[in-house]
């Protein structure tokens, strides 16, 4: 059966400015792939990420390269061989999952053998001065889990300011590769003293071997250092947890395999996201069921989301309705 493929660029304004150690942005740029057969349409969303050498144009080009095969019936297994891990494959893979669900009448959760429920997600605080971050933390002090963007001089002051402003919240620190071999051990010790639950990617990917030689008084989570299943073995002894993101893994198919491999090696699992809409988060909500840490707050950071979108009640996110995805 011939399919019709459409690919669209969309922009969603962020509520304010989102800042990490590598820069700031005020908009979320996403790409949506839609695969239609005679009666149904499946959608998938991705966020191209420059840290991994992706642009909107390069991702559109990658998707375009597999359109003829998709039109002829390419399946998810074929896709894994046709495109590398990354945003382009994510959009197509998730669109295929969605199309399969709508064509068969079997929801993705049922296909995976899970009964999904509501989950607690982290809420992200942008990098700023200690005073600015304390203000963000105070405004969100009722949230049980905060993810705090850091990565530079003055990080300990930032962490202390957030802790004082939100004394009851659990805290994840995300350094986005912003620490160095010279300060990582000292910063980890200070974070442990302050009561941080997890530190994410403190050192640049490829420069993290020192993590195997120093004291890690709190769990350290790989993000930029892990994309797909084949990366897992190199992380043993360096990290305690891995952050799985659909845009890194290249879709739900590979992300499921990555989670299984990570847990088999004894890693705790975090499921995270780029800043995108509910369409991009929806498959990740299923992936994240039972994960140790969930960071799927992308839609909460936007000035507007899709309609229908995921339902958030405070920091609790519900599984996607069929009208959204899956």
**Which tens digit of pLDDT belongs to each residue from 269-309?**
999 999 999 999 999 999 999 999 999 999 999 999 999 99
One domain, residues 137 and 161: yes
Does the annotation count 25 as an active-site position?
A: no
On whether residue 169 sits in a domain, the answer given is yes
On whether residue 248 sits in a domain, the answer given is yes
Looking at every residue in the chain, the average pLDDT score rounds to: 96
**Phi, psi dihedral angles at 56 (to 5 degrees):** -60, -40
Of 51, 78, 112, the residue that ends a domain is 112
Of 81, 112, 143, the residue that ends a domain is 112
One domain, residues 166 and 130: yes
Catalytic residue among 102, 147, 149, 248: 149
Summarize the confidence of residues 255-273 as an average pLDDT. Answer: 98
Q: What is the pTM of this model?
A: 0.96
Give the domain CATH number at 230.
3.20.20.120
Does the annotation count 147 as an active-site position?
A: no
One domain, residues 129 and 271: yes
One domain, residues 256 and 294: yes
d(CA 72, CA 92): 14
Domain interval for residue 238: 119-317
Among residues 222, 201, 200, the alpha carbon closest in space to that of 145 is found at 200
Give the domain CATH number at 46.
3.30.390.10
The tens digit of pLDDT for each residue in 116-134 reads: 999 999 999 999 999 999 9
How many domains does one find in the chain? 2
- End-to-end CA distance of the chain, in Å? 21
The tens digit of pLDDT for each residue in 45-93 reads: 999 999 999 999 999 999 999 999 999 999 999 999 999 999 999 999 9
One domain, residues 195 and 106: no
């Amino acid at each position: 059966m011939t399919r019709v493929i459409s690919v669209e660029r969309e922009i969603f304004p962020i509520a304010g400015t989102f800042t990490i150690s590598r820069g700031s942005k005020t908009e979320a740029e996403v790409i949506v792939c839609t695969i239609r057969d005679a009666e149904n349409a499946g959608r998938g969303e991705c966020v191209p990420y420059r840290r991994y050498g992706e642009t909107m144009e390069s991702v559109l080009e990658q998707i375009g390269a597999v359109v003829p095969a998709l039109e002829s019936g390419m399946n998810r297994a074929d896709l894994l061989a046709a495109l590398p891990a990354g945003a382009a494959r994510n959009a197509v893979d998730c669109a295929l999952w969605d199309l399969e669900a709508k064509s068969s009448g079997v929801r993705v959760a049922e296909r995976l053998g899970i009964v999904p429920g509501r989950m607690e997600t982290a809420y992200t605080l942008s990098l700023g001065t200690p005073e600015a971050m304390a203000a963000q933390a105070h405004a969100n002090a009722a949230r049980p889990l905060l993810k705090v963007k850091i990565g530079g001089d003055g990080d300990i002051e930032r962490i202390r300011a957030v802790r004082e402003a939100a004394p009851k919240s659990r805290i994840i620190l995300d350094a986005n590769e912003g620490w160095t071999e010279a300060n990582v051990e000292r910063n980890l010790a200070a974070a442990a003293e302050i009561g941080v639950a997890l530190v994410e990617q403190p050192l640049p990917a490829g420069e993290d071997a020192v993590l195997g030689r120093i004291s890690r008084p709190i769990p350290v989570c790989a993000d930029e250092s892990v994309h797909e299943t084949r990366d897992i073995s190199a992380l043993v002894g360096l990290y305690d947890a891995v952050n799985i993101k659909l845009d890194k893994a290249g879709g739900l198919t590979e992300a499921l395999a990555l989670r299984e491999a990570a847990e088999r090696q004894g890693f705790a699992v975090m499921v995270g996201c780029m800043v995108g809409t509910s369409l991009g988060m929806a498959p990740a909500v299923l992936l994240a069921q039972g994960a140790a840490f969930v960071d799927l707050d992308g839609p909460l950071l936007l000035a507007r989301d899709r309609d229908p979108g995921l339902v958030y009640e405070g920091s609790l996110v519900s599984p996607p309705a069929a009208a959204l995805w899956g």
